[in-house]
Amino acid sequence: MKRLTILLAAAVAGLAALPASAGTEGLSFAQVVEKEYTLTLSRPSVRSGSVSLELVNFGMDTHDLVVKSVKAGSKPVRFKQLDPRGRTERTLRMTPGRYSLWCSLSDHRARGMRTTLVVTK
């Protein structure tokens, strides 16, 4: 029993020693903040591959998000509507290029809820 306790303690200590990025290697991150009537990216560009987009609604109205490559024939990715103070996260497979992001509700896009994310190699 004592040996099992020592082995478990060593295993836990080994896990604690792993770098914080363990399991996220090669994954890029960006946050999209929504407010009336702006979309703000935490960074203007990310690396291609798996990209984790966190959407946070700091506004007072409900908002959603659409992400679409500017390449002809690309299909949009739609995030669900978020109530104020809502948050969601999705991991997308993104190839190099420019991506348009916007809120598709009512006239929000026309009022400024749009931005561009650049995906690099």
> What pLDDT is stored for residue 39 in this prediction?
97
In a domain, 50, yes or no: yes
pLDDT classification of 25: cutoffs 50, 70, 90: confident
Domain residues for the domain of 51 are 26-120
In a domain, 85, yes or no: yes
Token code pair at residue 23: 């399991």
Q: What is the mean pLDDT of residues 53-58?
A: 98
Contact 54, 32 (CB under 8 A): yes
> What pLDDT is stored for residue 2 in this prediction?
53
| Domain harbouring 103, CATH code | 2.60.40.420
Contact 83, 9 (CB under 8 A): no
For the segment 71-93, what is each residue's pLDDT rounded down to a tens digit?
Answer: 999 999 999 999 999 999 999 99
